[in-house]
Structure 1
């Protein structure tokens, strides 16, 4: 499956990126994620449908504020936010739960 973008009102959810236009790795480091292959691994999980993740972004800048992850094998949803941005995860998690139910037939 190709990554799916979600409009969650004040927040924009998109696939993680590390390319010439957007590099989420510095923001991921604020979350404690320093593995240089993390974005590639998450992209591969979308492709083989073994996991789904979204960068929760400020819509005007695209800056990653938080991450939402769905593990379809365990039907779990997890979130993590950069310091000072914890408030964005509730809205984002609700939007991802709706997506998981509608598109994946998965209750998380």
Structure 2
């Protein structure tokens, strides 16, 4: 599917971009260089503008392949990238996905993640016909737990241990939201 834009007034959700009008590469690089992002989102290493460009290209490809809907959370006036939200591991036949989000240091503490993720969920349940969306976060990630709670995700349990960015292990809390 083609990327969908969502205007929330206070935030604008759009595709990540690296073109002659909007270039999110530097903000993506800054976001993933941040120690908190590295700790809580350990699966990504973005160390150069080229890595950030490849990340943006991958997100565009995932939209087209119906694998993931991913939005840049942007300031509606400046276009500044404040983070990213998405629905990954899309299974449109089964009606399931997993929520994902990260916030640029400049976007933290402003409600960007919870407002943007709530909009992504409305899109997923309404436009895509999803029935269940999971949200996973490390047990000690209180900010992520607050985002999940604000978006209506109910805890379902703790699954296997996973590696944090510092190499230590911690349990992942699983939460679920349903269309009902």
TM bucket, shorter chain: over 0.9
Q: Distance in 1 between matches of 2:9 and 2:119?
A: 9
Compute the displacement of 1:57 (Å): 0.4
Which of 101, 126, 129 matches 1:102? 126
Matched with 1:13 is 13
Matched with 1:88 is 112
Runs of at least 4 residues off by over 6 Å? none
**Structure 1: where are the runs of 5+ without partners?**
none
Q: Distance in 1 between matches of 2:107 and 2:78?
A: 15
Question: Contact conserved, 2:70 with 2:86, CA < 8 A, in 1?
Answer: yes
Q: Distance in 2 between matches of 1:51 and 1:90?
A: 18
Change (3 A) 1:18 1:84: closer
Compute the displacement of 1:9 (Å): 2.8
Matched with 2:77 is 60
Going by fraction, where is strand more abundant, 1 or 2?
A: 2
Q: What RMSD in Å do the two structures reach over aligned CA positions?
A: 1.4
Compute the displacement of 1:31 (Å): 1.8
Compute the displacement of 1:37 (Å): 0.7
Q: Distance in 1 between matches of 2:115 and 2:8?
A: 7
Compute the displacement of 1:68 (Å): 0.3
TM-score by length of 2: 0.57
Query: What do residues 18-52 of structure 1 show as CA deviations (whole Å, max 9, x unaligned)?
Result: 01111101111122162231111111111111111
Q: Secondary structure at the match of 1:42?
A: helix
TM-score by length of 1: 0.92
**Structure 2: where are the runs of 5+ without partners?**
33-44, 134-180
How many residues matched? 108
